[in-house]
């Protein structure tokens, strides 16, 4: 892409879930057309877009049609097959973020190795390919330690705490005896996250930090802007910039951080937990807290437009609506300080993200 895409261009999104839906809505607001590729009919994103290709993510015909139809393509989740992205690129499509970012984010060992390489500190870790590896890693890292599958897994799935060597065999079986990573325990006081974007020209825009609260491994609430000092925000910004530049990234990136408490210098000691090469649940607060939210920012970046402002004009408490909590829509819609965002999913299964509400307050 040598120049910004004009309004009226068509963008493609791999994935038809809630993130794809909100990306499509942001793109429509800027005058773009959107085509979704998702194997499920009547997807949340497909229903608000110009069209949907109903096919597997690795279907060569579907990928060819998407690439030829769209002037730029992106994805809403990091577990889209890397081979699909490569096929789109080989067919001449402009795909952002690129395959390098996708490959790093899809393998937790590669991810942490990359992060350490650009100066973003993580917990100590060890790759695990069998029970003997797990026992050796426990001896080196100590227990308790967190065992995670190397690939896939989200919202607390595909991971288990190993509290002693006696638990190792059961833990290994619990994750399906799949290639894994063992992570040392982080003694942190809270989880923070930073949403950042990098444009095609290398410009970077970073949002204020958010503070995250989880329940049963699933994000429940983000409070933003988080109450942090200028030094902590500066450190988080520097970490995000190093990651974005190291990946030659285009688009919005989510970076989850462990706050270990005050350093000897100004600011908190921060460890990177993980990154997400896409718009992120902890950035939903920007929809009602910032002039340019994370979804518009991502569309701007992949289309080659200038990045938008990231300054917060409200303080926001974002709360996920899980399962039948979405039935609170009537009560929530009547509150003057609440902005309701529903995803249009048909079935409210326990723990399923059905929407979120942003409660706004003055800064």
C-alpha dist (Å) from residue 193 to 101, 282, 283, 327:
18, 7, 8, 28
The predicted pLDDT at position 258 comes to 96
C-alpha dist (Å) from residue 92 to 12, 60, 65, 284:
14, 14, 12, 32
Do 229 and 331 belong together in one domain? yes
pLDDT tens over the chain, length 363 residues = 779 999 999 999 999 999 999 999 999 999 999 999 999 999 999 999 999 999 999 999 999 999 999 999 999 999 899 899 999 999 999 999 999 999 999 999 999 999 999 999 999 999 999 999 999 999 999 999 999 999 876 656 789 999 999 999 999 999 999 999 999 999 999 999 999 999 999 999 999 999 999 988 899 999 999 999 999 999 999 999 999 999 999 999 999 999 999 876 677 799 999 999 999 999 999 999 999 999 999 999 999 999 999 999 999 999 999 999 999 999 999 999 999 999 999 899 999 999 999 999 999
Alpha helices in 198-327 (DSSP H): 230-246, 286-289, 294-302
> What is the enclosing helix (H) or strand (E) of 26?
helix 18-29
For 15, the domain range is 10-95
pLDDT tens profile 322-352: 999 999 999 999 999 999 999 999 899 999 9
Last residue of a domain, one of 162, 184, 206: 184
Residue entry with tokens 């992570």: 183
Q: What global pTM score does this model have? A: 0.94
C-alpha dist (Å) from residue 58 to 38, 69, 85, 252:
10, 17, 9, 24
Do 274 and 239 belong together in one domain? yes
350 exposed, middle or buried (CB, 10 Å; 0-12, 13-18, 19+)?
exposed
Q: What is the CATH number of the domain that holds 238?
A: 3.30.470.20
Q: What is the CATH number of the domain that holds 143?
A: 3.30.1490.20
The predicted pLDDT at position 217 comes to 81
Do 173 and 201 belong together in one domain? no
The predicted pLDDT at position 39 comes to 97
Confirm whether 105 is domain-assigned.
no
CB atoms within 10 A of CB 142: 11
Specify which residues 196 forms β-bridges with: 206, 253
The β-bridge relationship of strands 268-276 and 218-224 is unpaired
The predicted pLDDT at position 263 comes to 77
Using CA of residue 335, residue 339, residue 344, residue 350, what is the dihedral sign? negative
Specify which residues 256 forms β-bridges with: 193, 274
How far is 82 from 57, CA to CA, in rounded Å? 10
- Per-residue tokens: 284: 């939903």
> What is the enclosing helix (H) or strand (E) of 36?
strand 33-38
Do 155 and 234 belong together in one domain? no
Confirm whether 5 is domain-assigned.
no
The percentage of the chain sitting over the pLDDT mark of 70, rounded to a whole number, equals 98
Specify which residues 93 forms β-bridges with: none
Q: How far is CA 283 from the centre of its chain?
A: 9
Do 215 and 354 belong together in one domain? yes
pLDDT tens profile 250-271: 999 999 999 999 876 677 799 9
Domains held by the chain: number: 3
Do 302 and 203 belong together in one domain? yes
């Amino acid at each position: 892409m040598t120049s910004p895409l004009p309004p009226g261009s068509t963008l493609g999104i791999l994935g038809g879930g809630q993130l794809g839906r909100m990306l499509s809505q942001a793109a429509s607001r800027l005058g773009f057309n959107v085509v979704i590729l998702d194997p499920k009919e009547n997807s949340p994103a497909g229903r608000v877009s110009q069209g949907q290709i109903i096919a597997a993510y690795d279907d060569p015909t579907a990928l060819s049609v998407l690439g030829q139809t769209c002037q730029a393509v992106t994805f809403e989740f990091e577990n889209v097959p890397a081979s699909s992205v490569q096929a789109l690129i080989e067919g001449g499509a402009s795909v952002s973020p690129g395959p390098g970012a996708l490959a790093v984010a899809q393998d937790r060992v590669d991810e942490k190795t990359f992060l350490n390489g650009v100066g973003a500190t993580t917990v100590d870790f060890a790759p695990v390919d069998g029970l003997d590896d797990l026992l050796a890693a426990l001896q080196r890292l100590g227990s308790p330690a967190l065992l995670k599958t190397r690939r896939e897994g989200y919202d607390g799935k595909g991971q288990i705490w190993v509290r002693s060597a006696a638990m190792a065999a059961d833990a290994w079986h619990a994750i399906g005896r799949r290639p894994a990573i063992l992570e040392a325990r982080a003694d942190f006081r809270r989880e923070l996250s930073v949403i950042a974007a990098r444009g095609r020209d290398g410009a970077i825009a970073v949002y204020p930090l958010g503070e995250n609260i989880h329940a049963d491994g699933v994000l429940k609430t983000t409070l933003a802007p988080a109450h942090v000092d200028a030094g902590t925000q500066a450190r988080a910004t520097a970490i995000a910039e190093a990651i974005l530049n190291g990946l030659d990234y285009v688009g919005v990136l989510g970076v989850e951080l462990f706050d270990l408490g005050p350093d000897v210098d100004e600011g908190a000691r921060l460890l990177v937990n993980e990154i997400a090469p896409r718009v992120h649940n902890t950035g939903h607060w920007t929809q009602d807290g910032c002039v340019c939210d994370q979804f518009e920012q991502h569309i701007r970046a992949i289309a080659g437009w200038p990045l938008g402002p990231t300054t917060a004009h409200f303080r926001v408490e974002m709360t996920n609506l899980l399962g039948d909590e979405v039935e609170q829509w009537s009560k929530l819609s009547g509150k003057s300080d609440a902005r309701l965002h529903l995803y249009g999913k048909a079935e409210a299964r326990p723990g399923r993200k059905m929407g979120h509400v942003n409660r706004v307050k003055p800064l």
